Structure formats: C-alpha cells, structure tokens
Amino acid sequence: MTSAVSIIVEPSDDAQGLISAIQSAQASVHMEMYLLSNTSVIDALIAQQQAGRDVKVILNQSFPSGGSNSGVYSQLQSAGVSVVWAPAGFTYTHEKGVMIDGKTAWIMTMNATQSSPTNNREYLAVDTDPNDVAEAEAIFAHDYADQAYTPSGNLVVAPTNARTKLVELIQMARSTIDMEAEELSDTYSTGIINALTTAGDAGVQVHVVLADSTSVSSTNLATLKAHHVQIVTFSTYYVHAKSIVADGRYAYVGSENFSAGSLGYNRELGIITGTATEVQKVLTTTQGDFSGGSPL
C-alpha cells in the first residue's frame, strides 16, 4: 500500500504539473506511454535531451483503431531522444508512466495527448515512495530492453498481478465501493465483475460511473444490476479514469481498464494508496460524477 503519493484530478491544470516535472528533471526522464501527442510534453522531452539529461521513451506501436505514435517516434528519434517501440509480447503497452530522476513516478490514467487533460476525467498519481519508484524504473528498464520482469512490490502491474490486487481491494470493502471506469467487461471467473456482484450481494453499496460511450454488454449490465450494483453514465467529461475507492479508505488509480484484455495481456501500471487526503480527492470526484450521471 503506497503512502507517499499525491493525486491530481483532471481537468484542473491542463497537465502543467506533469510538464513542469519533466522540465525540472535534473538527471533523467523515463516515459512509457500508450499515446503521446501533447506538444508541450514532446518539447519538454526534447529540451531535456538537448540539456544532456538521460531521456528514454517507450511508445506503444499498434492500436485497435485510430491511434498512431509513428510521427512522434520519428520526431523524438530525429532530436536524439532514445525511443523504442514497446515489447511485442504485450497486446498493447497501455501504461501511462513517467519516472523523473529516479525519485518520482507519475502513474496515470491519462495519456500524454492534447485533449486528455482538458476533456477527460483523469487521475495522476505522483508517487515518491522509493520502493515504488525503483519498481517502476525496473519495469521500464526491462521493457526498454525487451526483457521479461516479474514485479514483487506494491505497484499494480498488468499482466502479472493487476487482477489479483484489484479484486483484493474490492473484497476489502465492507460498506462502500465507488468506481470510475472506461471499460467494464472482465468476466473472468475470479475477476472484476464477479467481485463487484459478490460485494453487492454482501450489502456493500457499489456505485459505478461509466463513460457515456462505454459499451457495457446487456448481459453484464443485467448481471451487475441484479446484484445491487448501481451504474450511471457521465457526460460532462469523458470518463477515461480507471479508479476504485473501497470504504473511502483505499484508492486505486492507474492505466488498467477493468477488462480481460487490459488485465491479462497488456503492460499496465497503477497504484493503491491509503493516504487519506488523496483518497478523499478520488472519492469526492467519483461521488460528484455519480450524482451528475444518468442511471443505466
């Protein structure tokens, strides 16, 4: 359980916290990113490379539809930035992680795009726990070298420990679960949907906020509702967040969607924190989005 963490809720600062962190790096910037197109982020990476910092970037290469990092890959490469395509062993490298100076890990639901910090509901966790940062760096180093790595720390990492850690978090809840999801389709027998229905049957109040364009199957929706899970869609911002708050005491945020593909086949990174002030940020935001949503 991570304690040395602060959380930024987007939209709020148009990603200026992240951009400033990259600009302020004194030794290294290591980024592992699903989609990179934010010109300020790209410019900051190139400027740090030109300043002699250790700048390395891993980019996802293939997309299910409509995405591409080819242009920015060429731009970074031309500027001298050490950039590689993500390992082919993952279906997608969906992580949104930035490690600064080996001292801070930005573990985010947010892609580094122009629109994400202004149009989306996103959570950015700024983690300074030395063990977490070391593990995030180790994951990055192994992925950069296309080498296998088995995590053993607190981070929520797909495709290795993510489903187990997230289900355990849901199972911890005794009174409330407040959740935001872009995708909700993990019907694995020991997976997310089963854990939510079990919690609902046990009397836990389960509230789920989905993106207004989320495709939740009629079968899954009927199953969840039959087990007392209350679901709304929210349209003020696009719900790109992936978060779970258990009993208002513990919060997960990260790149993992609550789908079988994300949890079982992608490179993903998240954290679970018990820091009260930061958990409250996620809880208050989720509750507000639920109240402003349209019931399914």
The reply to whether 168 and 186 lie within a common domain is: yes
Place of tokens 């940020």: 281
Lookup result for tokens 């062993």: 89
Does pLDDT of 66 surpass 90?
Answer: no
19 shares its domain with 145: yes
**How much is the pLDDT for 39?**
98
215 has pLDDT over 80: no
Whole-angstrom distance, CA of residue 151 vs CA of residue 145? 16
CB 213 within 8 A of CB 268: no
Instruction: Tell whether the model's pLDDT for residue 140 goes beyond 80.
Output: yes
Smallest Cα–Cα separation from 253: which of 220, 277, 282?
282
If asked whether residues 68 and 126 sit together in one domain, one would say yes
Distances (CA, A) of 61 to 67, 139, 148, 167, 180: 9, 18, 18, 30, 27
218 and 110 in a single domain? The answer is no
Predicted confidence at residue 80, as pLDDT, reads 98
Mean pLDDT of the chain: 97
pLDDT band at 213 (very low <50, low <70, confident <90, very high): confident
Among residues 118, 135, 155, which one ends one of the domains? Answer: 155
- Does 169 have pLDDT greater than 90? yes
Question: Which pLDDT score, from 0 to 100, does residue 271 have?
Answer: 98
The yes-or-no verdict on residue 69 having pLDDT over 80 is yes
Peptide bond before residue 117 is cis, with ω within 30 degrees of 0:
no
Crossing angle (nearest 10°) for helices 16-24 and 39-50: 10
pLDDT classification of 4: cutoffs 50, 70, 90: very high
Q: Is the pLDDT of residue 2 over 90?
A: no
Domain count, the chain: 2
Distance separating alpha carbons of residues 133 and 128, to the nearest angstrom: 7
231 vs 224: CA distance, rounded Å: 8
One domain for residues 284 and 163? yes
Amino acid identity at 80: G
Structural domain including 206 reads 158-295
**Does one domain contain both 284 and 216?**
yes
Does residue 201 register a pLDDT over 80? Answer: yes
Domain co-membership, 183 together with 63: no
Residues 80 and 194 in one domain: no
Of the residues 136, 155, 174, the one at which a domain ends: 155
Tens-digit pLDDT profile for residues 174-192: 999 999 999 999 999 999 9
Q: Which residues are CB-neighbours of 185 under 8 A, at least 6 positions away?
A: 193, 216, 217, 220, 258, 259, 260
Instruction: State whether 112 and 179 are in the same domain.
Output: no
Question: 3-state DSSP call for residue 221?
Answer: helix
Q: What is the CATH number of the domain that holds 150?
A: 3.30.870.10
Q: What digits encode the pLDDT tens for the residues 10-24?
A: 999 999 999 999 999
Q: Kindly tell me if the per-residue pLDDT of 212 is higher than 90.
A: no
CA–CA separation, 132 and 244 (whole Å): 19
* Bridge partners (DSSP) listed for residue 275: none
For residues 136 and 173, state if they share a domain: no
18 and 93 assigned to the same domain: yes
Q: Domain boundary at 127, 155, 183, which? A: 155
Q: Looking at the structure, do residues 256 and 149 belong to the same domain, yes or no? A: no
